[in-house]
Structure 1
Amino acid sequence: MYIGELARRSGATPKAIRLYEQLGLLGQIAREGCYRVYDAAQLQQVQLIRQAQRLGFSLAELAQALGSDPAQPDWRTLLDRIEAKRHEVLAEIARLRQLEHELGVVGEEIAGCLHGQPACEIDGA
């Protein structure tokens, strides 16, 4: 299939597909004259790349995890990267929960100021 068909089937833009190819994420692409010809394995690869991006992986991270042969991903490395990403997400959730708590405390202090509490002071100000 040509790049337009690959784009339609995968949901990626032709520009993105060319970038994936340039970064070596699609392996060797066959050519018919000056046209690139993609196969089902490359469609799967583009779908994997798009899924990984939705999960927060950068193209650089994918290039490292996929190894030298994108058609045969290093599944152990990919699994390790997924676990590392999960830990990053959990740490970010904890940070955001703490931030939400602090915003609530400051909001309550400001609400007290609006209601005329004596000696209205905001902590840390």
Structure 2
Amino acid sequence: MYIGEIAKRTGASPKAIRLYETMGLLTHVLREGSYRVYNTEDVEFVKLIKQAQQLGISLTELKKLVVSRNTLDWYAVIELLDHKQRKVNAEIEALKEMNKQISMYRTEIEECLKNL
């Protein structure tokens, strides 16, 4: 399949797919003349790239995990996911603290307004 078809199947733009290839995320893409030809394995890998991006994993981080044609170092993926999860948990805790402070300030302001 050509780039338009893989774009339709994955939701990635043709420009993004070319970027994945340039970065070495999609490797050994076949060519027919000047056209890139993708297979179902490429489709699944582009979907995986998009899922990783939705989890906050950058293309650069993902590139470090590629070991061969559309294959990742899954142990390194687990380590990266653990790191991302710790980061998310820390952000959640910071947001909870911020939420407590907002509630406290709101209560104080409401008390001041009652005394006017």
Q: How does 1:1-125 map onto structure 2 within 5 Å? A: 1-67=1-67, 69-116=68-115
Which TM-score applies when normalising by structure 1? 0.88
Amino acid paired to 2:84: K
Percent identity between the two aligned chains: 44
2:28/2:69 contact within 8 Å kept: no
The structure, 1 or 2, with the larger RCO (C-alpha pairs under 8 Å, 6+ apart) is 2
Runs of 4+ deviating beyond 3 Å: none
Q: What is the aligned-residue RMSD (CA, Å)? A: 1.2
The alignment of Structure 1 onto Structure 2 pairs a total of residues equal to 116
Greater helix fraction, Structure 1 or Structure 2 = 2
Cα distance in 1 between the residues matched to 2:65 and 2:100: 37
Greater strand fraction, Structure 1 or Structure 2 = 2
Segments of 5+ residues of structure 2 without an aligned counterpart are: none
Which TM-score applies when normalising by structure 2? 0.94
1:65/1:81 contact within 8 Å kept: no
1:37-64 deviations in whole A, cap 9, x for unaligned? Answer: 0111111110000011111111111111
1:66/1:78 contact within 8 Å kept: no
Cα distance in 2 between the residues matched to 1:55 and 1:30: 29
2:66/2:73 contact within 8 Å kept: yes
Q: Deviation of residue 77 (structure 1)?
A: 0.4
**Which has the greater radius of gyration?**
1
